Every structure is written in structure tokens, then in C-alpha cells.
Structure 1
Amino acid sequence: MRAYYFDNIPGDQRLPHDSGRAVSSDTLTKLGVLQWSIPVENYEPHIDEIARKRGYKNRDTINVTKEGLGEAYESKIKTFFEEHMHEDEEIRYILSGSGFFDVREFQTDEWIRVHVTPGDLLVLPAGIYHRFTLDEANAIKALRLFQDEPKWTPHNRSELTDANVFRKQYLGSVGAQVTATA
């Protein structure tokens, strides 16, 4: 898994957009982003152990390809790339293919791009602004883990999501000054 600052140059979202400024694992950890590298061969016991320790009770597999998503492919790719947050952790273990998760660094509001490939396990905390896109290979297959019933409800960035309790909890957890709302 490789992380760096997004270059913000207009163009195909599936291109690397590498600014040349690397981001360390420590920086990701400070943002609450967790990562593991687990070989795909015989991954189940390792994933099961992490799931047990972190309380992930459910899982499914998503195949983000034109074939896997059918007619919904183009609209899903656009939806995934809209800046949003979730009220639950987002947990993905990459089985095949590759793609990019972009996360907002709250201090600077810059995008950090994380390139995920087979064997990468990424956990995004509830409340972090992020987005996802495929890379130029146009295919990814990922195991999704959930703490409760499987759901994927994006809350697009807005004044409403800025005031969302999960967003405020996230900001508090990473040391940001959070103002109370009436």
C-alpha cells in the first residue's frame, strides 16, 4: 500500500495523480486510517482474527468491474468518487485488482491518495471524508467487513455532514478542535 498527496491536476480520476510527496504510515495512523498487508493466499485466518478483535460480524464481496456492476457501473463509479463520509468504519480487504482511496487530511484539507492492491486491508474510521476510484486497470474485488448489518450509506460533504455527530467524534478522536452545536 502506497500513500501520497494527490496532485489536484484535472484529468482522469483513475490516473495516479502523484504529487511526489509521500505520506507515511504514521500520518495515516494519526488520521485514524489503519492498514495491514495480508497475503491473499490463505488470508481467511488472518482476516478472521482481525474481524474477531475489531468486532466485525458480517462480510460480503464486491466486484467493481463493468461486468460485476452491469448497467450501474458508470453511476456507481461516479458515486464512489464523490466526497463523503460514513457513520460506520469502512473496511476493505483487496482480493484482486487495484484502486485508490482518497482521504481528507483534516488539518490541511488536502487529499491523501492510498493505492490499494491485492493483500491490502484498509480501515477508514467513521466520520472521515473520503472517496474511491478504480485505477487504470478498471477492476477491483474486495472483501467488505461490517461491525453490524451490511450497509453502505454515504453522506456527501456539506454543512450538514460537517455538523454530523460521527464527523465531530472523528475530529475529536484525531485531536481537532470541535465546536459544540446547540
Structure 2
Amino acid sequence: MRSYYFDNLPGDQRLLHDSGREVTVSQLEAIGARYWRIPIDEEGRWEDKINDVAHERNYKNRDVINVTKEGLGEAYESKLKMFYEEHMHEDEEIRYILDGSGFFDLREHPTDNWIRVHLVPGDLLVVPAGIYHRFTLDEANKIQAMRLFKEEPKWTPHNRNEATDNNPYRIDYLSSLQTITVA
């Protein structure tokens, strides 16, 4: 995993867009995100570690998603466009990368800057409920990720607008930032 501030320059969303300003794991934690590095090993110890995180955070369900041109067919471009719209969810978004790579962009509060998080196999990222974010593939154009859920999967994106700014999950998220302490 590597995280940094997005450069906001025009161009393909799948490019690095690296401003040269690094973001630390502590800075990610300050906006409510959580990160684990759990290398994929042939012995399957990674699965035990994923199970430990799932148990600790009360994740009961999981599946695997493949985002590739071949896998999504004609829906590929429209799905990538949808994933890249700024939105929030009313549940945490949890992704463990099994293969490929991609970017999660997270809105930093209160600056409203984008923080770009580049994930590769073995990275586990938790995006908190209520945070504005977006996702895109990188130039490799493929990712396989395990998705973990507390309950039944919900994928309802709430695109950013005035109503979403007043969504109770957004308000709870903003309130939680006042109580997060970075070690």
C-alpha cells in the first residue's frame, strides 16, 4: 500500500496522479480508515489472519469480486465510471486484495483533499461508513478483491450532494472524527 495526496490534474483516472506528498497510515487512521498488510502465502496463513480481523470487527459474510474487462464485458466502462463517482455508503467498505491492483480515493476532512490509496495483493483496507470516496483500477486494469461485510452485502452508493451531506451516517462519521486519536 502506498498513499499520497491526489494531484487533481486532468487525465486518465487510472494513472498515479501522485502529488509527491505522502500520506501516512496514521493520517489514514485520522480520517477513520483502517489498514492491514496481510501477505498472501501458499500455506494459507493469510486466511487465518483475515478470519481474525473478521472476528475482531464482526464481519460475518464475504465474497470475491473480479473487476476486469473480460469479467464485466460490456458493463466494464460504465461500472468503472460508477465506481469513480464520489459517494459514501451506510456500511463500511472492506477490501482485501487477492490479485491485481487499484486505487481508493478518500476525502480528507476538513480539507476536502483527495487521498489516493494504491492497493496491491495482501493489502486490507477498511473505508468507514459515511466517508466520501471513489474507486478505480490502475493501469493494469484488473483487480480481484475479497469483500467482507458485517451483515448481508449492501452496495448502495449515495452520491455526494446536499442530502447526502445530511445523511445520518455522514453526520455520525464526521462526529467520530472528533473522537479518533492517532497513536
Q: Match for residue 83 of structure 1?
A: 86
After TM superposition, the score normalised by the length of structure 2 is 0.95
Aligned pair 1:74/2:74, yes or no?
no
* Separation in 1, partners of 2:51, 2:110: 34
- Aligned twin of 2:12: 12
Identity of aligned residues (%): 69
Distance 2:74 2:11 in 1: 24
Among 145, 168, 181, the alignment partner of 2:171 is 168
**TM-score, structure 1 normalization:** 0.95
Which amino acid letter does the alignment assign opposite residue 104 of structure 1?
Answer: R
Measured in 2, the distance between the counterparts of 1:25 and 1:99 equals: 18
Runs of 4+ displaced beyond 6 Å: none
2:112 pairs with one of 72, 88, 109: 109
CA RMSD in angstroms comes to 0.9
Q: Which residue does 1:121 correspond to in 2?
A: 124
**Within 1, Cα distance between the matches of 2:178 and 2:87?**
20
- 1:132 aligned residue: 135
User: Which residue of structure 1 lines up, in the alignment, with residue 22 of structure 2?
Assistant: 22
Mapped to 1, the partners of 2:162 and 2:146 lie a distance apart of 32
Alpha-carbon distance in structure 1 between the residues aligned to 2:164 and 2:116: 22
Equivalent pairs counted in the alignment come to: 176
Shift of 1:175: 1.7
Residue 69 of structure 1: CA displacement?
1.2
Instruction: Report the Cα offset of residue 76 of structure 1.
Output: 0.4
Q: CA deviation at 1:143?
A: 0.1
Aligned pair 1:157/2:153, yes or no?
no
Counterpart code for 1:50: V
**Are residues 1:62 and 2:65 paired?**
yes
Q: Which one-letter code corresponds to 1:39 in the other structure?
A: P
Q: Please say if 1:97 is aligned against 2:106.
A: no
Between 1:77-86 and 1:39-48, the stretch displaced more is 39-48
Structure 2 stretches of 5 or more lacking a match? none
Q: Distance in 1 between matches of 2:96 and 2:40?
A: 9
Aligned mates of 2:96, 2:25 — CA distance in 1:
17
Query: Structure 1: which 5+ residue stretches go unaligned?
Result: 177-182
Per-residue deviation at 1:68? Answer: 1.3
Q: Distance in 1 between matches of 2:56 and 2:25?
A: 21
